[in-house]
Chain A
Amino acid sequence: MTEILRVSKLNKRFGGVTVARDIDFSLERGSMHCLIGPNGAGKSSFFRLLLGEHAPDGGSILFRGEDITNLRSFRRIQRGISVKFQVPGIFKALSVRQNLEVAFQKHLHGHNLTATVRRVLDFTGLLDQAAMPAGNLSHGQQQWLEIGMAVGVEPSLLLLDEPTAGMSPDETRKTGEMLHDLNRRGITILAVEHDMAFVEQIADRVTVLHVGAIYAQGTIGEIVAHPGVQEIYLGTADA
């Protein structure tokens, strides 16, 4: 496997708070990787650094071998990174179809745009809601719509910030199946997630962040069995 993302010595401070401390991280192409950690561990900040919303104080980010550390957010997206935020980042006043059109029309036009919107509506199960204002969808449907917006043009790397937040167990399971399907299509997935059952369902490897630094990395089995991770995040059976 080849590396799609390489983060080296990434640092970021906000005043007296360090949100990223010498982070060295790499992601294999085609993998499904989860970031976990207690609240305030720096998971979302790490995402924002990857997306260019925050400029790092030091370190570098290589995406597909290219240094993107100083690129603006939209240029990173144009290079094949896509994102789904924790709070659904959809356009609530627009219809479901318009949301998808806006998401894809940068890369697709005419027939291809229409066909892709149709495919993604089918894929997300939102075909019957295509003309409905996106703000009228249920929370789970809004999450799926945003996943659809993020994957319609088949990015190389999909960043998901708590993709199942607020979902029912059934919706969570189906979201996991959806992500496996996308991964089989070659999309590398990096997800921040709190739901350990969901992490078990999707992740090849897991990274634990703690106070802005990488605390542990490994397979889900190794992470669950890690005494330190149990102490800081997962809790112990007799706790």
Chain B
Amino acid sequence: MKMQDTHPSLASAAPVERRPAAMIWLARLEGPQTMGRGPWFWAAAALLVLAAALYPAFSNAYTVGNAAYFLVWTFMAMGLGVIWGYAGALSFGQTAFFGVAGYGYGILTINLGAAYGLTVLSLVLAVAAAGAFALVIGYFMFYGRIRGVFVGIVTLSVTLVLETFMAQTAGPQWRVGDARLNGFNGMSGMPPLTLPWPGGDIVLYPGIGFYYLMLGLVVLCYLALRMVLNAPFGNVLVAIRENPARTEMLGYDIRLYQTLAFGLGGALAGLSGALYTAWGQYITPSSMGLTSAALPIIWVAVGGRRDITATLLGTLAVLFGFQSLTIYGSQYALVVMGALLLFTVLVAPGGIVAAAMHQLGRPGGKGRR
């Protein structure tokens, strides 16, 4: 295609129809930065959610509680997808933010109690603390022009420092109010999420109620992230990933965008951490260890880091597989995880789920990209 011989002025094109703002936001559920669009995709998504909603009717409370456990981790994975897949910064820091919010929830609820919806307030504050911590770390990294592999090194260091610090808090002097940090023995005794309700509080122990809360939150987060990633903010993140120098030369302060993406990802990891602590009423420093820091990388890489749907589905699939293998021994399961990561890197570097979705979206496939 040759450039046309006469160049129309930039102001000479036909006017474009104006759309209301609400339509624009709704339209961002689909967009260039997320796979899946059209009635086939949304029908499949609705069926999947319906199946997940009906699942407790065909299962027992223990298994449903386990399923809720899988869903707890997806927020951290989606957050890593934003930081690594969209903004292009490989971070091992998700577990640090997970731990900050996990311990934060424990400290707050042990001191405040469970009445009057204070566990919900504690959860919100814990997530905010994790997000704020991520913003601070992100600020020093990105405004200090740390990039590439060094982001991974710094974030891994932060995670391991936090683990080391928490591991030496076994003594009775390490307490915040009534909350003993307890070193490697872990912090326990915090109340589960308790929702104030007329006629009696609803206590969300691991089981069906907690499962439905997780399902609702996952759907909400997923849809919100689709809109954010297809908004101008998401476009800039992808531009930074592709060519940071050029993005800056378009007038963007790329440090700010990277920091905000890091904060958003950190807050999502915090949501996982606080919910994990509420689910199991227990958290230990090993949740911030080297293994814990590496696992989210595998979930996201195997699913597909550059698409939030692939990240979500891949994480659930890998977690289910990991849990199933753990029956035969946790070390054995870790070896399989490593092999899975190698397979992904060598065969489907964009992620296995993403590759499958891409294949489905090709002409002749059932969906559309």
Contact B251 A74 (CB under 8 A): yes
Q: Select B239's contact among A102, A119, A140, beta carbons within 8 Å.
A: A102
Taking A89-B246, A178-B3 as given, write out 13 further A-B residue pairs in contact, using a Cβ cutoff of 8 Å, ordered by the A residue number. Answer: A53-B245, A91-B238, A91-B239, A95-B32, A101-B235, A102-B239, A103-B250, A111-B16, A111-B19, A119-B13, A141-B3, A171-B3, A185-B10
Contact B250 A106 (CB under 8 A): yes
Asked if B302 is at the interface (CB within 8 A of a chain A CB), the reply is no
Q: Select B253's contact among A53, A74, A98, beta carbons within 8 Å.
A: A74
The contact size tier of chain A is: 35 or more
Among residues of A, the one whose C-beta sits closest to the C-beta of B254 is A74
In the docked arrangement, what's the CA distance between A27 and B15, Å?
A: 35
In the docked arrangement, what's the CA distance between A51 and B251, Å?
A: 11
Query: Which residues on the B side are within 8 Å of A115 (C-beta)?
Result: 13, 15-16
Bits for B199-226, please: 1 = Cβ < 8 Å to A, else 0. Answer: 0000000000000000000000000000
Scan residues 135-162 of chain A and give those whose CB is less than 8 A from a CB of chain B.
140-141, 144, 149, 151-152, 154
Among residues of B, the one whose C-beta sits closest to the C-beta of A153 is B251
Cβ distance B98 to chain A, nearest Cβ, rounded Å: 30
Query: Which residues on the B side are within 8 Å of A123 (C-beta)?
Result: 7-10
In the docked arrangement, what's the CA distance between A85 and B9, Å?
A: 23
Contact A74 B252 (CB under 8 A): yes
Contact A85 B7 (CB under 8 A): no
Query: Which residues on the B side are within 8 Å of A196 (C-beta)?
Result: none
If A89-B245, A91-B246, A124-B3 touch, whether A105 touches B16 (CB-CB below 8 Å) is no
Among residues of B, the one whose C-beta sits closest to the C-beta of A95 is B32
Cβ distance B166 to chain A, nearest Cβ, rounded Å: 38
Query: Which residues on the B side are within 8 Å of A185 (C-beta)?
Result: 9-10
If A110-B19, A110-B24 touch, whether A51 touches B1 (CB-CB below 8 Å) is no
Contact B248 A73 (CB under 8 A): yes
Asked if B21 is at the interface (CB within 8 A of a chain A CB), the reply is yes
Query: Which residues on the A side are within 8 Å of B239 (C-beta)?
Result: 91, 94, 102
In the docked arrangement, what's the CA distance between A211 and B250, Å?
A: 30
Query: Which residues on the B side are within 8 Å of A111 (C-beta)?
Result: 16, 18-19
In the docked arrangement, what's the CA distance between A144 and B11, Å?
A: 18
Contact B10 A102 (CB under 8 A): no
Among residues of A, the one whose C-beta sits closest to the C-beta of B32 is A98
In the docked arrangement, what's the CA distance between A165 and B358, Å?
A: 35
Contact B10 A129 (CB under 8 A): no
If A77-B251, A181-B7 touch, whether A129 touches B16 (CB-CB below 8 Å) is no
Among residues of B, the one whose C-beta sits closest to the C-beta of A154 is B10
What are 11 residue pairs bridging A and B, where the CB atoms are less than 8 Å apart in the complex?
A77-B249, A89-B249, A91-B246, A94-B242, A98-B32, A101-B232, A102-B236, A102-B238, A102-B247, A118-B13, A178-B3
Asked if A177 is at the interface (CB within 8 A of a chain B CB), the reply is yes
Query: Which residues on the B side are within 8 Å of A128 (C-beta)?
Result: 1
| Residue positions of A touching B, CB distance < 8 A | 51, 53, 72-74, 77-78, 83, 85, 89-95, 98, 101-103, 105-107, 109-111, 114-116, 118-120, 122-126, 128-129, 140-141, 144, 149, 151-152, 154, 170-171, 174, 177-178, 181, 185
Asked if B4 is at the interface (CB within 8 A of a chain A CB), the reply is yes
Asked if B12 is at the interface (CB within 8 A of a chain A CB), the reply is yes
Cβ distance B27 to chain A, nearest Cβ, rounded Å: 11
Query: Which residues on the A side are within 8 Å of B4 (C-beta)?
Result: 125
A-B pairs with lowest CB-CB distance, top 4: A125-B3, A77-B251, A89-B246, A119-B13
| Residue positions of B touching A, CB distance < 8 A | 1-5, 7-16, 18-19, 21, 24, 32, 232, 235-236, 238-239, 242-243, 245-254
Query: Which residues on the B side are within 8 Å of A103 (C-beta)?
Result: 250
In the docked arrangement, what's the CA distance between A105 and B233, Å?
A: 10
Contact B246 A90 (CB under 8 A): yes
Query: Which residues on the A side are within 8 Å of B16 (C-beta)?
Result: 111, 114-115, 118
Contact A51 B32 (CB under 8 A): no
Query: Which residues on the A side are within 8 Å of B246 (C-beta)?
Result: 85, 89-91
In the docked arrangement, what's the CA distance between A162 and B286, Å?
A: 56
In the docked arrangement, what's the CA distance between A111 and B17, Å?
A: 7
In the docked arrangement, what's the CA distance between A171 and B246, Å?
A: 24
If A89-B243, A118-B13 touch, whether A98 touches B249 (CB-CB below 8 Å) is no
Contact A106 B252 (CB under 8 A): yes
If A73-B249, A102-B247, A111-B18 touch, whether A91 touches B10 (CB-CB below 8 Å) is no
In the docked arrangement, what's the CA distance between A72 and B2, Å?
A: 37
Query: Which residues on the A side are within 8 Å of B238 (C-beta)?
Result: 91, 93-94, 102
Contact A141 B13 (CB under 8 A): no
If A118-B16, A144-B3 touch, whether A152 touches B236 (CB-CB below 8 Å) is no
Cβ distance A236 to chain B, nearest Cβ, rounded Å: 36
Query: Which residues on the B side are within 8 Å of A170 (C-beta)?
Result: 2
Query: Which residues on the B side are within 8 Å of A91 (C-beta)?
Result: 238-239, 242-243, 246
In the docked arrangement, what's the CA distance between A85 and B250, Å?
A: 12
Query: Which residues on the A side are within 8 Å of B253 (C-beta)?
Result: 72, 74
In the docked arrangement, what's the CA distance between A67 and B246, Å?
A: 23
Query: Which residues on the B side are within 8 Å of A122 (C-beta)?
Result: 8, 12-13
Query: Which residues on the B side are within 8 Å of A72 (C-beta)?
Result: 253
In the docked arrangement, what's the CA distance between A181 and B9, Å?
A: 7
Contact B24 A106 (CB under 8 A): no
In the docked arrangement, what's the CA distance between A91 and B238, Å?
A: 9
Among residues of B, the one whose C-beta sits closest to the C-beta of A146 is B246
In the docked arrangement, what's the CA distance between A39 and B16, Å?
A: 46
Q: Select B242's contact among A93, A114, A116, A152, beta carbons within 8 Å.
A: A93
Query: Which residues on the B side are within 8 Å of A51 (C-beta)?
Result: 249
